[in-house]
Amino acid sequence: MLSKSKRAFFLFLMVLTIFYLETVDAGDPNILSDFNLPANVTTVNGTFFKYSILQGLEGSPQTFQAVKASLKEFPALDGQSVSMAVLKFPPGSINPLHTHPRAAELLFLHSGTLEVGFVDTKNGLFNQTLKPGDMFVFPKGIVHYQYNRNHKEEAMAISSFGSASAGTQSVPMSVFNEGISDKILAKAFKTDIDTIRKIKAGIAKLRS
């Protein structure tokens, strides 16, 4: 039997652990000032808080294009737990399977149509076909894709993220990483080495 004070102490530890885990899950770290300045900057005016993504809205790319406004492009986002991207889908194009390890994604379809979906940790597929004005949320860290199945019209979407630096990990590029041996991949996918080499050759074309 534990003494009353020991039980109280363990309870306290449990509450502390739960509180800590929730804080860790919440998103980007909280900052102790209104905003963060880059190390080489001492004062700013309104200009610092503006970023123009017009280049993302103009023109029609030949392949899927994501124009980002994240911490890297827009330093004022540091510590604010938000970022955005303009996504352009030429007819028939896809944004291949990927994850954002540090944030959920809220996608708003501006024009065209998009088939979107994600696979949860129980391997269930949740998909939808979006029309302009629709939104879709991709849960944090979950594998997802977007596909413009219309072969005539471009689609354009605007995505926001709950992190200044959501990160993107491409499933094809990471899983079929050049460094992972063909033998390991053949075992993982219960197939032969030739098949793995064919897939890797296709992905090498994506990289170049």
Residues belonging to the binding site for Mn(2+) are 98, 100, 105, 144
When asked if residue 127 is in the footprint of ligand NAG (CB under 6 A), the reply is: yes
Stretch that binds ligand NAG, among 41-49, 58-66, 102-110, 177-185 (CB under 6 A): 41-49
User: Residue 84's beta-bridge partner residues?
Assistant: 69, 160
H helical segments located in 67-181: 171-175
CA angle 156, 157, 163 (to 5 degrees): 150
Binding residues: 95, 98, 100, 105, 144
When asked if residue 30 is in the footprint of ligand NAG (CB under 6 A), the reply is: no
From the CB of 35, what's the least distance to ligand NAG, in Å?
A: 14
H helical segments located in 113-192: 171-175, 182-188
Stretch that binds ligand NAG, among 7-15, 33-41, 91-99, 167-175 (CB under 6 A): 33-41
Contact yes or no for 114/145 (Cβ under 8 A) = no
What are the backbone dihedrals phi and psi of residue 200, each rounded to the nearest 5 degrees, phi first? -60, -35
User: CB-wise, 50 or 190, nearer to ligand NAG?
Assistant: 50
Strand 135-138 to 105-111 pairing: antiparallel
By CB under 6 A, the count of residues binding ligand NAG is: 9
Rounded CA-CA distance 197/186 in Å is 9
When asked if residue 115 is in the footprint of ligand NAG (CB under 6 A), the reply is: yes
When asked if residue 182 is in the footprint of ligand NAG (CB under 6 A), the reply is: no
Rounded CA-CA distance 17/14 in Å is 5
When asked if residue 55 is in the footprint of ligand NAG (CB under 6 A), the reply is: no
Q: Which residues bind ligand NAG (CB under 6 A)?
A: 38, 40-41, 45, 47, 115, 127-129
